[in-house]
Structure 1
Amino acid sequence: MQKIAVLTSGGDAPGMNAAVRAVVRRGISYGMEVYGIYHGYEGLMQGQITLMDAGSVGDIIQRGGTILHSSRSEEFKTDAGQQKGIAELRRKGIEGLVVIGGDGSFRGAQKLSDKGFSTIGIPGTIDNDISGTEMTLGFDTAVNTVLEAIDKIRDTATSHERIFVVEVMGRHCGDIALWAGLSGGAESILIPEVNVEINDVTHRLLEGNKRGKKHSIIIVAEGVCPASEIAQRIKEEAGLDTRVTVLGHVQRGGSPSAFDRMLGSRLGAKAVDLLREGQSGKMVGIQRNRITEVDFADVFTIENDIDLDMYELSKTLSI
């Protein structure tokens, strides 16, 4: 394989640039030409494909987001859109593609592989909601961003003796809420995977008050319900002074952590290795600190379970 390309798709995640850098420089080390595709699958169909060299990915490992930019594309979900993308790749003589993104991006990558175009996926999403890997690219940085916010919010919560409800990202997966909540000592954590009654939350708050506890942090994943609803219920049922903080897209940004820089570098290099070996239709991931490969079919069919032991531990430690 002499020519490969790389694109980033879907929501951006810290560490994507580290992966792009690794793909480009690993490919060059093998004597390949490596192309960057701008604006995801939409850019692919439009032929936004540029030859990259080692210098074009210099000084990006520490940057958040993605230098290749990202977008979502409805057209690429169609057979015609996928054929258009393949035609653009073949017009450039490109033989293999690395796709960095989440579930939707991988479904597009699988379609390309099914149509005979060699494609490898790198899991890049802050939600940590991809099966077949213990960690996704960007998750560690996002958790640390949330944790920093929790630490600052606790300072003001203590000063004013208030309850703070902090809403974090995670429509279908509560990993950000769980990891940041446990690390930040949150008194209650609400995640989509576990059904928790608000009465249970208010009961814990009132029990804490009886012991002299005047401030608390509650973490809620956006997939549960808006933080404002939780705060209103607490106010009505417990009569406690409650404030809301919605962290929003600040969780996506920022310089990637050392872990995400390392992970992006390892996954990017492995993706190129697999293409060079003639493999396709696979995702590279990490299991027990070893870089692994998983068929896309397994990524889509194996359920991504949350660690309920961690959830129970958070309840024990937050009394």
Structure 2
Amino acid sequence: MIKEGIDALVVCGGDGSLTGADVFRAEWPKLVAELRQQNKITEEQATQHAHLKIVGLVGSIDNDMSMTDLTIGAPTALHRICESIDNINSTATSHSRAFVLEVMGRHCGWLALMAGVSCGADFIFIPESPPDADRWEDEMCQMIQRHRDVGKRKTLVIVAEGAHDSKLQPIRADFVKDVLSERLGLDTRVTTLGHTQRGGKPCAMDRILPTLQGVEAVEALLESTPDTPSYMIGVRENKITRVPLMDAVKMTREVAQAISEKNFPKAMSLRDPEFSETLEGFYATAVLETEPKLPHHLRMRVAIMHVGAPAGGMNAATCAAVRYCIRQGHKPFAIQNGFVGLLDDNVHQLSWLGVDNWMTRGGSELGTNRKQPDIDLGAVAAKFQHYNFHALIMIGGFEAFSSLQILEQGRKHYPAFNIPMVHLPATISNNVPLTEFSLGSDTSLNALVDACDAIKQSASASRNRVFVVETQGGKCGYIATMGALATGACIVYTPERGIGLDMLRNDVKFLKRRYALDAKGRSEGRLVLRNEVASQVYTTEVITKMFKEEGGELFDSRSASLGHTLQGGIPSPMDRARAVRLSLKCMAFLERYHQELLKQPAKTKQAPPESAAVITIQGTSVKWVQVQDMVEHADMKNRRGKHSWWEDYTELVEALVARPQILAKAGKKEDAVSQ
């Protein structure tokens, strides 16, 4: 390493690899001294490389590292599991079978838990929260029998490979199968996914987050000193974080130790907060309770509506809200086709079984459109009063946000709107102000990745070809920018930056120089991503023709418009899991303010401004923002936030393809020629 001039390492691996790297760092000065004594290196080399810098990136499909929400590989493994379950579901339903699925996870149940939530499992077994050794068979059979009694045709039980009961006795998939077959008489099959979970192409999240973590890792090395600890690069929600490497490793090992000591509450506490919330969400949505949890006077009539364009996760959020309502004793009402449907009385109560398969369905089962309540605000208020709604949850994009604003302002004139109201952002454009993540955007990015992988393969196979790919997103460049990071695109055009003639001239110069530098005979396809409204003049076709004309013998150019395919088919597992988590938070919000309003006299009831809010993800936390505060951060004309956390990533896209260096060299060459 010293002879090659290496004194910094980025180590990608599990806790064993990272621990070994930190030990190597600690022993480095001693090893350098030994090499110097043996005259294998010079004094100058020993001085220059006196210290080793280490930074860790966690690669583990189990997602078993503490102090980070996600490890590299875990989202892709979850995709493989959910794809398998989605394929199994049709057989399970048609033959009324039970399936017991074994997934990876020796000391961590993240994969089993997230798959259970994302795919609507009936029961899960995870190491951190084991069932009672003496009662779990009875409890599982009673729960599954209740589901069968209401008409559910399929049964899915997910078992982590490290699952055990409260006495640490292993729970095997084959044993669970025997219990279901013998005690319930179900036609039961066992499926062990094994190493299929490690394979397949990486999902969008497993391309974007490791890219950002890699950049942070290099910056951490550049800032490192001999006195600073080795860092692990993690992620909290959408924020890339640095944590001391050995602190994370120590906490990870404490989980396994707590489990071995049967201290299961401690094991759960050592997982990130999202893990516990997701487990609570699973029980809230998967278990059909025999009795409602709330007394009659606290129960609500909850209206659920989709507003705006379809997005992956809308139905999953609705399913979670409905099942939580039924668990608590509330009555959930579906408003079909938005505010137009409300005015046409397209309103009906939803049942527990009626939303059974909604977790895996794309689009909008309720029907959605962009109509706002101000089409006839008085009539909308009359319908609210007619159906006696106590709370409203709107799932949608920028239109849902503006609808909430209209309803909140309407409280001054229409008492029917003095109820708690909440907006759960769901849009592929991810253009709702303040929130860093909207349901549907992950599904859309995965659809984009799938399409661009195929396009890039075509571009590389035929000849040197540049594909200009047009994406949706309205006047928000999120999909184009993050898609460029995920697909390795070399240029991205967004509405925020716009497109100019000088920009295009430099882009042509870059592409020509880039292809000129390629090895002779090598066929290389490259991608350029353009948001659909990045420019009214320089359209996708215009840019394609410019590249084709200027490419000459170096490269060809073609265009592809992905259009509505970016709304995706089946929602991604991450969109489904986040939909459940955020939907349950929305329901808790509605319950809290409904109970506060019950304390006021009925005739003079006045809902506080903060009871009309949007649930947002900001940095590492989930926050409620009242709708009037949201307006201050919104660009209402362009239907996006005033500040976007991802805008600077366009520069990262350019840096990853060495655009600044290539253009600088091209400029020097032109100067030399002109002189």
Q: Using the TM superposition, name which of 102-111 and 9-18 deviates more.
A: 102-111
Out of 262, 271, 290, the residue aligned to residue 577 of structure 2 is 262
- Give the equivalent residue in structure 2 for 1:184: 487
- Give the equivalent residue in structure 1 for 2:646: 307
> Is 2:530 the counterpart of 1:220?
yes
* Superposed displacement of residue 205, structure 1: 0.5
What TM-score results when the alignment is normalised by the length of structure 2? 0.45
Letter in 1 for 2:530: V
- Give the equivalent residue in structure 2 for 1:242: 557
Q: Using the TM superposition, name which of 288-297 and 200-209 deviates more.
A: 288-297
* Superposed displacement of residue 40, structure 1: 0.7
Letter in 2 for 1:259: M
Q: Deviations over 1:82-139 (max 9, x none)?
A: 2211211221121111111112222112222333322110101000111121101100
What TM-score results when the alignment is normalised by the length of structure 1? 0.94
Q: Deviations over 1:147-190 (max 9, x none)?
A: 11111111110011211110001221111011111111111111
- Give the equivalent residue in structure 1 for 2:90: none
Q: Using the TM superposition, name which of 156-165 and 65-74 deviates more.
A: 65-74
- Give the equivalent residue in structure 2 for 1:9: 307
- Give the equivalent residue in structure 1 for 2:423: 121
- Give the equivalent residue in structure 1 for 2:265: none
- Give the equivalent residue in structure 1 for 2:442: 140
- Give the equivalent residue in structure 1 for 2:655: 316
- CA RMSD in angstroms comes to 1.6
> Is 2:324 the counterpart of 1:26?
yes
Out of 338, 344, 350, the residue aligned to residue 40 of structure 1 is 338
Instruction: Tell me the percent identity.
Output: 29
Secondary structure in structure 1 of the residue aligned to 2:432: coil
Out of 253, 270, 280, the residue aligned to residue 611 of structure 2 is 280
Taking the aligned partners of 1:47 and 1:82, their CA distance within structure 2 comes to 15
Letter in 2 for 1:222: E
- Give the equivalent residue in structure 1 for 2:625: 294
Out of 324, 334, 348, the residue aligned to residue 50 of structure 1 is 348
Letter in 2 for 1:114: Q
Q: Where do 1:100-115 residues align within 5 Å?
A: 100-115=395-410
Taking the aligned partners of 1:229 and 1:299, their CA distance within structure 2 comes to 37
Letter in 1 for 2:341: G
Taking the aligned partners of 2:578 and 2:343, their CA distance within structure 1 comes to 29
8 Å CA contact retained: 2:612, 2:627? yes
- Give the equivalent residue in structure 2 for 1:86: 381
* Superposed displacement of residue 306, structure 1: 4.4
Q: Using the TM superposition, name which of 5-14 and 65-74 deviates more.
A: 65-74
* Superposed displacement of residue 285, structure 1: 2.0
Q: Deviations over 1:232-277 (max 9, x none)?
A: 1212333341111100000113111111101111121111111111
> Is 2:475 the counterpart of 1:163?
no
Secondary structure in structure 1 of the residue aligned to 2:512: helix
Q: Using the TM superposition, name which of 288-297 and 201-210 deviates more.
A: 288-297
Letter in 2 for 1:198: L
Taking the aligned partners of 1:5 and 1:145, their CA distance within structure 2 comes to 31
8 Å CA contact retained: 2:396, 2:427? yes
- Give the equivalent residue in structure 1 for 2:506: 200
Letter in 2 for 1:223: V
Taking the aligned partners of 2:393 and 2:332, their CA distance within structure 1 comes to 10
* Superposed displacement of residue 44, structure 1: 1.3
* Superposed displacement of residue 289, structure 1: 4.9
8 Å CA contact retained: 1:64, 1:256? yes
- Give the equivalent residue in structure 2 for 1:99: 394
Quickly say closer, same or farther: Cα 1:211–1:160, change in 2 above 3 A: same
8 Å CA contact retained: 1:174, 1:306? no
Mind listing any 5+ residue stretches in structure 1 that lack a counterpart?
Answer: none
* Superposed displacement of residue 300, structure 1: 2.3
8 Å CA contact retained: 2:370, 2:399? no
Taking the aligned partners of 1:175 and 1:269, their CA distance within structure 2 comes to 26
8 Å CA contact retained: 2:508, 2:550? yes
Taking the aligned partners of 2:382 and 2:457, their CA distance within structure 1 comes to 56
Letter in 1 for 2:561: V
8 Å CA contact retained: 2:436, 2:645? no
* Superposed displacement of residue 54, structure 1: 1.1
- Give the equivalent residue in structure 1 for 2:367: 69
Aligned residues: 316
Taking the aligned partners of 1:169 and 1:290, their CA distance within structure 2 comes to 28
Mind listing any 5+ residue stretches in structure 2 that lack a counterpart?
Answer: 1-298, 412-416, 594-609, 634-641, 659-675
Q: Deviations over 1:44-88 (max 9, x none)?
A: 1222110111112111101111110112326x324xx12211211
Secondary structure in structure 2 of the residue aligned to 1:99: strand
Taking the aligned partners of 2:431 and 2:401, their CA distance within structure 1 comes to 13
Quickly say closer, same or farther: Cα 1:64–1:23, change in 2 above 3 A: same
Q: Using the TM superposition, name which of 304-313 and 179-188 deviates more.
A: 304-313
Taking the aligned partners of 1:286 and 1:90, their CA distance within structure 2 comes to 32
Secondary structure in structure 1 of the residue aligned to 2:332: strand
Letter in 2 for 1:287: Q
Taking the aligned partners of 2:622 and 2:479, their CA distance within structure 1 comes to 22
Secondary structure in structure 1 of the residue aligned to 2:488: coil
Taking the aligned partners of 2:443 and 2:656, their CA distance within structure 1 comes to 24
Secondary structure in structure 2 of the residue aligned to 1:126: coil
Taking the aligned partners of 1:262 and 1:251, their CA distance within structure 2 comes to 20
Secondary structure in structure 2 of the residue aligned to 1:65: coil
- Give the equivalent residue in structure 2 for 1:153: 455
Q: Using the TM superposition, name which of 306-315 and 54-63 deviates more.
A: 306-315
Taking the aligned partners of 1:18 and 1:286, their CA distance within structure 2 comes to 18
